[in-house]
Amino acid sequence: MTGLIERPGNGAVRIPAGRLLIDGDWHEAEGGRSLPVFDPATEEQIGAIAAASAADVERAVQAAHRRFESPAWQNMRPIDRGRLLERLALLVERDADELARLETLDNGKPLWVSRNIDMPFSIDALRYYGGWSSKLAGEYIALNPLVDDGATYRAYTERRPVGVVGGITPWNFPMGQAVQKIAPAIAFGCTIVLKPSEEASLTTLRLGELILEAGFPAGAVNIVTGLGPEAGQALVDHPLVRKIAFTGSTATGQRILAASARHMKRVSLELGGKSPTIILADADLDKAIPGAANAIFANSGQICTAGSRLLVEAPVYDAVTRGLAEIAGSMRLGSGFDTSTQLGPLISARQIARVSELVATGLAQGAEPLAGGTRLPGKGYFFPPTVLAGRGNDLAIAREEVFGPVVLATPITDSRQIAAMANDTVYGLGASIWTRDLNRAHLLASQIDCGTVWINTHNVLDPAMPFGGTKLSGIGREFGSEALHAYTEPRAVCMRLE
């Protein structure tokens, strides 16, 4: 099923053909197998994507490996790889509105978010990594041999691409996540086979069309859609895939890490989170309360760094929770194509069932509902912004990642326990601190065990700033100079000079 989908006030949205991009051309999946694609705002089927088999993944990996080993790719000037990414950035920029509408149709997020966040981030990331491609450098090392044999020794290092990369992306930011895997792989001289989430693959397939238009060599970027247990597992298990770059759930990341040990694959895993939003008593509440709302409700809570644990010093706890509940109750849910919509739907029937179950369990265990709490009636996977109040960390909803617009508020009665409360989780992805006292903010930030601490803001990301987590939130970092280490390995060359 392909063609045009009409949405009121926004014209037709073109659905790309749901095929596999392998070795520079589009292919049907083995046996013609496919998966339906649904609009999460209406539950209507809007298309279909190919369901890749292990044999399809084999063809894609072989194509990526041939390209990586080819003299043309090995000898391509780094600056020319950067030009490929810049050409792709120009094409994404040209078609940004079309891509944004497709993202909103497939994912459900408000169109203004797709236009003003997802597309600009994708364009910036392509350009950022395009610039990095020509900046690879090693280092000179002065050696001191243990045995003086009268010779002079010199050594240097060089950064070498790891090889074929298997990229696996989630459904919450489909376009940005695809770029997040493709751009550094190409910039640093790797080739890639990308498997997007089966629940939101359309913009990645449209990106594949632009990759061909930009003139990427056949096999440099391959896109295989399908199910994780089949296509994703085949990618993880393939011996020619030297690195897996995965963003998704902790449980899946753990399985990938275990499977990667067989071939000693390099991995970067950006996984789940249970990030605290910490509001201290001296915070500017006119900024902290809407900041806390944005931390958890943005993208309908479907953000790995969502501030799903709200820790508030007792003197301002009532004011903060009251203000947050008021914001939650006033937010408008609806189709992403409606200009008044502030929150779109969750991605799928499965996801809304999970969120509903976790909230119901939290209420049964004693959490107090301050706003929201149950699925909205009618078509579409809409769950309202939900604020719960509860003490202690024994509630399931205090420990488990919800990945929905649900926050649990807890008062801080002893300021000496703030860091301990923030760290009382198996995750360590992000945290934010809201205070006027920057001295206290910096001291507290140094005690929180996570990959990113924001001060008086939350969820600010930039391609130049490293991103990743500690504990069960993952291994490795994306973005910034850290990506250089994620997609390359050092090689030392040692010389004996007479």
Q: CA-CA distance, 398 to 242, in Å (whole number)? A: 37
Residues 399-450: tens digit of each pLDDT: 999 999 999 999 999 999 999 999 999 999 999 999 999 999 999 999 999 9
pLDDT-derived band at 11, boundaries 50, 70, 90: low
Assign 3-state DSSP to the chain and report helix, strand, coil percentages, each to 5.
40, 25, 35
Q: Is the pLDDT of residue 2 over 70?
A: no
pLDDT at 1 (0 to 100): 44
Give the rounded percent of residues in the chain with a pLDDT score beyond 70.
99
Q: Which residues pair with 372 in a beta bridge?
A: none
Q: What is the pLDDT of residues 368-381, one digit of tens each?
A: 999 999 999 999 99
pLDDT in tens, 21-42: 999 999 999 999 999 999 999 9
403, two tokens? 């990945």
Segment 219-225 shows an average pLDDT of: 98
| Position 191 confidence tier, pLDDT thresholds 50, 70, 90 | very high
Helix/strand/coil (H/E/C) assignment for every residue in 362-383: HHHCCCEEEECCCCCCCCCCCC
Active-site positions read 270, 304
Give 8's pLDDT tier (boundaries 50, 70, 90). low
CB atoms closer than 10 angstroms to residue 33: 16
Distance CA 267, CA 245 (A): 6
Strand bridging mode 474-475 / 266-270: antiparallel
**Beta 191-195 vs 164-168: how paired, if at all?**
parallel
**pLDDT for residue 9:** 65
pLDDT beyond 60 at 48: yes
How far apart are the C-alpha atoms of 223 and 415, rounded to whole Å?
50
Mean predicted confidence (pLDDT) in 158-181: 97
Local confidence band at 147 (pLDDT 50, 70, 90 cut-offs): confident
Q: What is the pLDDT of residue 497?
A: 87
Which of the 8 DSSP states describes residue 331? P
Residue 9 buriedness (CB in 10 A; 0-12 / 13-18 / 19+):
exposed
How does pLDDT run across 295-334, given as a tens digit for each residue? Answer: 999 999 999 999 999 999 999 999 999 999 999 999 999 9
Specify whether the CB–CB gap between 383 and 356 falls below 8 A: yes
Rounded Cα distance between 34 and 56, Å, is: 13
Which pLDDT belongs to residue 10? 62
Q: How far is CA 132 from the centre of its chain?
A: 20
Pick from 3-17, 91-105, 159-173: least confident: 3-17
Check if the beta carbon of residue 119 is closer than 8 Å to that of residue 113.
Answer: no
Segment 150-162 shows an average pLDDT of: 93
Could you report the per-residue pLDDT of 450-488, keeping only the tens digit for each?
A: 999 999 999 999 999 999 999 999 999 999 999 999 999
pLDDT of residue 246 exceeding 80: yes
Instruction: For residue 416, give the DSSP letter.
Output: G
Band (391; pLDDT cuts 50, 70, 90): confident
**Which residue in the block uniquely carries the two structure tokens 């500017």?**
284
